[in-house]
Structure 1
Amino acid sequence: MLNYTRYQKVPVVDFPERQWPNKQIEKAPIWCSVDLRDGNQALIEPMVVEEKIEYFTLLVKLGFKEIEVGFPSASQIEFDFLRQLVDRKLIPDDVVVQVLVQCREHLLKRTFEALKGVKTAIVHIYNSTSTLQRDVVFGMSREEIKQIAIEGTRLVKEYAKDFPGNIILEYSPESFTGTELDFALEVCEAVMEVWEPTRDKKIIFNLPATVEMNTPNVYADQIEWMNTHFKNRDSIILSVHPHNDRGTGVAISELALLAGADRVEGTLFGNGERTGNVDLLTLAYNMFSQGINPELEIDNINEIIEVYERCCKIPVHLRHPYAGKLVFTAFSGSHQDAINKGVKAMKERKSSIWAVPYLPIDPADIGRKYEPIVRINSQSGKGGVAFIMETYFGFKLPKGMHKEFADIIQGISEKSGEVAPDQIMQEFRLQYLDRKEPYHFRKSRFEDLSDTDSDFDTLAVVTYTDHGTEKTYEATGNGPIDAVQRGLIKELGIKIKVLDYSEHALGEGSNAQAAAYVHLLDTESGKVSFGVGISSNITRASIRAVFSAVNRLIL
């Protein structure tokens, strides 16, 4: 049995004044990618310089205006990477690079050496402020921890004074979620007193969920409490840096934005230490799905996946939101049917608003395709098979035919697993279009008898093969299909009745073929079956459908 008594509840915030539950996200935050620092340090095999440059180029292409490029004082490869960006002039004028550094003088000196030639940079300093780390890691009092932050800020200010470019200070009380709120506020405001930000030269206060410790609403309360208690709030950019220890990184980020956060730090696909950082793409696509401009160029997710997987050497999970190979698929029969009907309804109504059951966004909007939406296995239903036939191959199966053909495909899937669209089409041909034994229609001629007194005003002359032997018959009826049917009854000694008939064009234009469907009843046995025929001539397609159905009935 799990020994749950070893753990205790993390305190919540007593904050009845909270306003965030009544708010909605209205716009995109300031995005800051930390893939090249947080993300890179969490890789089993960290990126080399050229991989980092390729990744940086991708982030710029996606529209990130703030990119944390590393910890240049921590290792030579981190230092060299930043120098490569500068020397090769790879940093666009509208992109601000961010560097992380601890509050230590020799590290800050090395960091500013790496920044030479950068026009604008964010220098991100941090020190842990949590109750637990003060106790077991540092053995320091609140005042001693605060002095580390103050001294670090003073040093940055000194180095920034002689730096030819523009320096923006970012301060993080690391492990903010485990820090008393009044102390987090005290440390941040001590930093602000030293830095002296203004409306025109703001400071970034980054409040990280370094470890997720409670439900998302508690983080939102913490952010709103800080947001409403800061002095000179108009001189502050309030940033969050959520991790995903409890699996709610996206949720705490969204609630933090409701609570007043201006900025979010995270990574593509959530790569980061332990269970990862917040997934910026999921956040952005969530906004997009609500009609909000995410202000990122993320309409080709396949390209993002390709670069990410190659540089990070981590595969994107099949069920990853928006990006996974299976997220725009449906195996459930009821889901497939609903998707099929939703897509049809949108086409018929010519709606500009996306509204399809089970698909929160149009896959095509992010570079995915319609084709993979429905996949067929033993759990699939009639609607899914019909959807595949129409979407892939243009066959609009009559509703009554859905179950007949789906039962055939389900029998295959129960033996072999998932059935690919091409395999479904192959079976459709085998069962319907190429069903030419024992009776194979060859040719026909029709004569109009409308000048006679008979109700049977169509004469059909039909040539066919019976077990390979060519035969011809003549018959009359009230139309081509009726005449063909009556002739078969007489020729073959069978009793059949057409229950339903439908047709449609396969494709567009004057050269398009027609598809015809006939639902046939054997009046003696009660057995029913569909037949399908295609031809550039609709009458020929109809006769082929009749012969297809007859051949299926006598199986």
Structure 2
Amino acid sequence: MSFDHRKYQATPGVAISDRQWPNNSLTTAPIWCSVDLRDGNQALVEPMTVDQKLRMWDLLVKLGFKQIEVGFPSASQPDFDFVRALIDGNRIPEDVTIQVLTQAREELIARSYEAMDGAKKAIVHVYNSTSPVQRERVFGMDKEGIKAIGVQGARWVKEYAEKYPNTEWSFQYSPESFSSTEVEYATEVCDAVIAEWHDTGKPIIINLPATVECTTPNVFADQVEWFCRNVKHRQDIIVSLHTHNDRGCAIAAAELGVMAGADRIEGTLLGNGERTGNMDIVTMAMNLYSQGVDPELDLSQMDEIIAVAEHCTNIPLHPRHPYAGDLVFTAFSGSHQDAIRKCMSKQGDDEHWQVAYLPIDPADLGRTYEAVIRINSQSGKGGVTWVLENDYGLNLPRWMQIDASRKVQAAAEEISGEISPQQIWELFEENYLKPVDGCAMQNFALSQDNAENDGRDALKLIFDYQGKSVEITGQGEGAISALVNGWRDHYGDTVEILDYSEHALNSGTSSQAIAYVMLSVNNTRYIGVAAHRDVVSASMQAVINAAAQSQAEAESQRKAG
């Protein structure tokens, strides 16, 4: 086998020197048409069952699609039966138009109309292939012969519509493989089809498919703009696009194609479709949404969309899929987490969204902020701080953030994986809240005697240590100062308070306070944390938790020596 690029040639560009689409912007949503039930279904290893089709239909209606391609009823009995089920079951809302696809063959067109008999509004979508490779190698016909197929198909579509006068019909034509067809010839064929339908008074849709994506999106936009400039009766037709994702640019091609003059977009939810897939309507719609443009689809319950799509297609969604994937709003990087946390704290309800690394508010899609910050070995203090603050109500001082993040990062490195919020809390409890060697305060008495203590507070405190009761007494300016002085007197340690912080817990435990203290004991720093319904008790237990670490280390050294 060889990997030789010389086997291929570039797709020709379009002679258009004064293109206008680069100067245009997307300011309104296009007309959306879902093809999940036809193009998406025919691409599945296991096509949808009737129940799955009905579930997909209900979702598409709920999301706000007004045009839905429901099948290829002339080619498949299940598709025929499904179209009938929608009509006979009165499942089509008044403002929704169904669409069916058919080749330009009379018996298939007749069967399509039979399937849609009784529909209030329907689009008959007829197509034939126009590209050179299809003309020459598949059909063995010249340009006139291919054009004649399209024209004859348009005539049959018009004639059979007259047999079903109670339906509000629209006609649609696709020059299949438009993106691979000479743009002048594709326009010539479309003009001939439009001429057949122009005097019927029926809405006309000309759909320009990139059946196979064969070049860059800008060239496709040139093709669309050239067509819109040169097709006859442009003001009387709706120009539609149907892009595929062979080069990974279906969304970009559709967006640039709308900038080039197209009015309508066909695609599927989350991009399911043949080969690399169809144009992803969810992503394109959310791209509009992120720019302040109403997508005219309700995508607020993204998890429901994913659940239905996965159930009906049996295709799992990639965790990095734009907007919808499990990880798309997740930050593992420490610097990203810190920036998100800071921006979120400043984001106002009455201002435009301005949060670093989050192009949209995850809450708009029904996502919670719990999944935004996730912790692994790449995470920093911002992520750990976010989890402890949002999940457990802890407002850590900066020095506490640094120390806690180091411990969490070490644990993540040890397991070479992600640390859950529950695991972070367990690490916090083990390293800070759990009393060292059972060093837990039992009770205390705090009094003030101006005569004996020069106005200072006098403390008497009893705590358990290694199963024994220990009593400390001390004096100072406040309970913490008295405890530090009493500890120094009792153990002979040099103790200094370097920093202290406390606050009320606000995560369903507002009756409790939590205190953080950084001590220097014999010139070594220790951190202690404690929670209690009384802030003074929390503060003193935090001091004990920090100071007891020094005693534990000293005892360990004595045993080792």
Tell me which interval the TM-score lies in, with the shorter structure as reference length. over 0.9
What do the CA deviations read for 1:413-437 (whole angstroms, capped 9, x no partner)? 1122211110110111111111242
Code of the residue aligned with 2:429 in structure 1: it is: R
Q: Equivalent residue for 2:117?
A: 116
Q: Which moved more, 1:30-39 or 1:501-510?
A: 501-510
**What is the Cα deviation at residue 320 of structure 1?**
0.8
**What is the Cα deviation at residue 438 of structure 1?**
5.4
Structure 1 residues 479 and 350, CA gap change in structure 2 (3 angstroms):
farther
Any residues of structure 2 matched to 1:298-447 within 5 Å, and which?
Answer: 298-346=299-347, 349=348, 351-416=350-415, 417-437=417-437, 439-447=439-447
CA distance in 2, matches of 1:194, 1:510: 74
CA distance in 1, matches of 2:479, 2:153: 92
**What is the Cα deviation at residue 97 of structure 1?**
0.2
CA distance in 2, matches of 1:75, 1:350: 52
Q: Equivalent residue for 2:541?
A: 544
Code of the residue aligned with 1:537 in structure 2: it is: D
CA distance in 1, matches of 2:35, 2:507: 50
Q: Which moved more, 1:60-69 or 1:8-17?
A: 8-17
Q: Equivalent residue for 2:209?
A: 208
Q: Equivalent residue for 2:255?
A: 254
CA distance in 1, matches of 2:330, 2:5: 38
CA distance in 2, matches of 1:386, 1:533: 17
Q: Equivalent residue for 1:448?
A: 448
Code of the residue aligned with 1:3 in structure 2: it is: D
CA distance in 2, matches of 1:463, 1:513: 22
Q: Equivalent residue for 1:479?
A: 478
Listed as ranges, the gaps of 5+ residues in structure 2 are: 554-561
CA distance in 1, matches of 2:330, 2:454: 52
Q: Equivalent residue for 2:46?
A: 45
Q: Equivalent residue for 2:187?
A: 185
Q: Equivalent residue for 1:284?
A: 285
Code of the residue aligned with 1:428 in structure 2: it is: F
What do the CA deviations read for 1:394-448 (whole angstroms, capped 9, x no partner)? 1111111122111111121112221111011011111111124253222222223
CA distance in 1, matches of 2:310, 2:453: 74
Any residues of structure 2 matched to 1:512-527 within 5 Å, and which?
Answer: 512-522=511-521, 524=522, 526-527=523-524
Whether contact under 8 Å (2:334, 2:380) holds in the other structure is yes
Any residues of structure 2 matched to 1:480-495 within 5 Å, and which?
Answer: 480-495=479-494
Q: Equivalent residue for 2:146?
A: 145
SS of 2:161's equivalent? helix
Q: Equivalent residue for 1:233?
A: 234
SS of 1:437's equivalent? helix
Structure 1 residues 215 and 455, CA gap change in structure 2 (3 angstroms):
farther
CA distance in 2, matches of 1:401, 1:34: 54
Question: TM-score, length-normalised on structure 2?
Answer: 0.95
CA distance in 1, matches of 2:490, 2:374: 43
Whether contact under 8 Å (1:438, 1:551) holds in the other structure is no
CA distance in 1, matches of 2:21, 2:56: 35
Code of the residue aligned with 2:236 in structure 1: it is: S
CA distance in 2, matches of 1:403, 1:363: 27
Identity %: 50
Whether contact under 8 Å (2:453, 2:475) holds in the other structure is no
Whether contact under 8 Å (1:129, 1:173) holds in the other structure is yes
CA distance in 2, matches of 1:408, 1:298: 40
What do the CA deviations read for 1:327-366 (whole angstroms, capped 9, x no partner)? 11111111111111111122xx555322111111111110
Whether contact under 8 Å (2:436, 2:549) holds in the other structure is no
| 2:261 equivalent to 1:264 | no
SS of 1:255's equivalent? helix
CA distance in 2, matches of 1:551, 1:176: 78
Q: Equivalent residue for 2:505?
A: 506
SS of 1:546's equivalent? helix
CA distance in 2, matches of 1:531, 1:287: 50
SS of 1:256's equivalent? helix
Code of the residue aligned with 1:195 in structure 2: it is: W
What do the CA deviations read for 1:34-71 (whole angstroms, capped 9, x no partner)? 00000000000001122111111111011100000000
CA distance in 2, matches of 1:59, 1:272: 16
CA distance in 2, matches of 1:29, 1:445: 74
RMSD of Structure 2 on Structure 1 (CA): 1.7
Whether contact under 8 Å (2:504, 2:510) holds in the other structure is no
Q: Which moved more, 1:30-39 or 1:461-470?
A: 461-470
CA distance in 2, matches of 1:105, 1:332: 60
Q: Which moved more, 1:502-511 or 1:117-126?
A: 502-511
CA distance in 2, matches of 1:509, 1:57: 39
CA distance in 2, matches of 1:201, 1:520: 83
SS of 2:437's equivalent? coil
Structure 1 residues 190 and 408, CA gap change in structure 2 (3 angstroms):
same
| 2:172 equivalent to 1:173 | no
| 2:73 equivalent to 1:89 | no
Q: Equivalent residue for 1:460?
A: 459
Code of the residue aligned with 1:341 in structure 2: it is: K
Structure 1 residues 452 and 285, CA gap change in structure 2 (3 angstroms):
farther
**What is the Cα deviation at residue 511 of structure 1?**
5.0
**What is the Cα deviation at residue 464 of structure 1?**
1.0
Structure 1 residues 2 and 435, CA gap change in structure 2 (3 angstroms):
farther
Listed as ranges, the gaps of 5+ residues in structure 1 are: none
Question: TM-score, length-normalised on structure 1?
Answer: 0.96
CA distance in 1, matches of 2:430, 2:314: 44
**What is the Cα deviation at residue 381 of structure 1?**
1.4
Q: Which moved more, 1:355-364 or 1:456-465?
A: 456-465
CA distance in 1, matches of 2:490, 2:111: 97
